[in-house]
């Protein structure tokens, strides 16, 4: 069987092997398939499955819980590329609000990644399924911590990492409900500039920045800022009682325009003592979700505003120019 060759004549397998040897001084450690079977009790407890592969719950010999993602793809070259991207990115990225890569398995028939195990699942379970009754102040702290993780990707990583798919499902929570952003390992790394042109839309419905819906457009980290803003609306909306059925971000903007944000916050089920940080979160959400990318703040500025170090500035122009306040839907939900 002939092996695929790269542009330099090196096979995919040889390329990854060389890559791993160069990574040897980094923290992710190599493990064998036999060790993975032992860690996961023969892959007996599956946590999830998708096009990328299957994720199993496991445990290191010292008792540390782990999640093992076994990659799968019908094309070996794509699987090799995914493996190299995730190990190469996550293996050199360390922040308390980013998922940690403990190690990997790279064998002929098995390509796997070993991560933190997050006991409380994704932020989705809190915001939409309401499996946990999280106090507002803790939700607000979670928002700050997520912002800190994204800020690290944007401003402390070289080359810069643009996530492309910020949403509640890509935030996991540990036993203390501290958040960690996941799935940044496959994010497009910007090697030279702060933006690049893409040919297809990446991201999830409801969180994709407007500029990403154009055929060819310069994509920057401000796309992540937009997605984070939409997630802030999810956090605020998770506490709402009866505030109508129209598109929630549009309602928030309308209440700000009508000078009714205070009463709106109370109707969302948030206590009076939390009004200041709730108003701050609401304005930050609007700032992040502005239609024009350059009008959105950087994530480091977002962190400072949420920490009440900088006063937020309410957008002057409607952040949602294609939103109809009389409608239940918005163009943003349809993308």
Domain locations in the chain?
A: 12-116, 123-334
| Best CA proximity match to 163, nearest among 142, 143, 189 | 189
Tell me how many helices (H) and strands (E) the chain has: 11, 10
Higher-confidence position of 3 and 101: 101
| Best CA proximity match to 287, nearest among 268, 303, 269 | 303
Active-site residue, from 8, 38, 62, 165 = 165
Average pLDDT over residues 100-106: 94
Would you list which residues are annotated within the binding site for ATP?
69
Distance of CA 328 to the CA centre of its chain: 27
Residue 228, sorted as left (phi over 0), alpha (psi -120 to 50) or beta, turns out to be alpha
| Best CA proximity match to 96, nearest among 31, 155, 161, 142 | 142
Which fold would CATH assign to domain 12-116?
Answer: Phosphorylase Kinase; domain 1 (3.30.200)
Dist. CA 254–CA 250, nearest whole Å: 6
Q: What's the pTM value of the predicted model, to 2 decimals?
A: 0.84
Would you list which residues are annotated within the binding site?
69
The model's confidence at residue 137, banded by pLDDT at 50, 70 and 90, is very high
Phi, psi of 69, rounded to the nearest 5 degrees:
-100, 115
Could you confirm whether 165 is annotated as catalytic? yes
Tens digits of residue pLDDT in 232-241:
999 998 876 5
Domain 123-334 matching CATH 3.40.50.720: the answer reads no
Q: Count the alpha carbons within 13 Å of 72 in the hemisphere toward its beta carbon.
A: 9
Site of tokens 């190599």: 30
Least confident of 107-111, 264-268, 276-280: 264-268
């Amino acid at each position: 069987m002939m092996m695929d060759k790269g542009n330099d004549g090196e096979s995919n397998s040889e390329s990854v092997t060389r890559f791993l040897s160069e990574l040897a001084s980094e923290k992710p450690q190599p493990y064998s398939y036999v060790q993975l079977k032992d860690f996961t009790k023969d892959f007996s407890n599956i946590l999830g499955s998708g096009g990328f592969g299957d994720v199993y719950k496991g445990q290191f010999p010292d008792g540390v819980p782990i999640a093992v993602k076994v990659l799968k793809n019908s094309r070996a070259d794509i699987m090799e590329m995914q493996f190299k991207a995730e190990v190469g990115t996550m293996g050199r990225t360390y922040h308390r609000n980013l998922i940690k890569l403990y190690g990997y398995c790279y064998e002929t028939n098995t390509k796997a990644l070993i991560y933190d195990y997050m006991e409380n699942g994704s932020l989705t379970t809190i915001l939409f399924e309401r499996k946990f009754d999280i106090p507002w102040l803790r939700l607000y702290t979670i928002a700050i911590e997520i912002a800190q993780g994204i800020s690290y990707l944007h401003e402390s990583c070289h080359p810069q990492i643009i996530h492309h798919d910020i949403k509640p499902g890509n935030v996991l929570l540990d036993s203390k409900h501290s958040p960690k952003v996941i799935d940044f390992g496959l994010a497009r790394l910007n090697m030279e500039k702060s933006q690049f042109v893409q040919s297809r839309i990446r991201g999830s419905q409801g969180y994709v920045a407007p500029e990403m819906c154009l055929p060819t457009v310069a994509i920057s980290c401000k796309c992540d800022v937009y997605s984070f803003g939409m997630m802030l609306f999810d956090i605020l909306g998770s506490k709402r009682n009866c505030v109508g059925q129209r598109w929630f971000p549009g309602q928030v903007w309308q209440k700000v325009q009508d000078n009714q944000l205070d009463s709106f916050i109370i109707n969302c089920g948030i206590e009076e003592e939390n009004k200041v940080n709730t108003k701050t979160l609401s304005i930050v959400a609007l700032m992040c979700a502005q239609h024009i990318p350059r009008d959105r703040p950087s994530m480091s500025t977002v962190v400072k505003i949420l920490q009440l170090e900088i006063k937020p500035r309410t957008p002057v122009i409607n952040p949602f120019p294609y939103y109809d306040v009389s409608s239940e839907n918005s163009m943003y939900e349809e993308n």
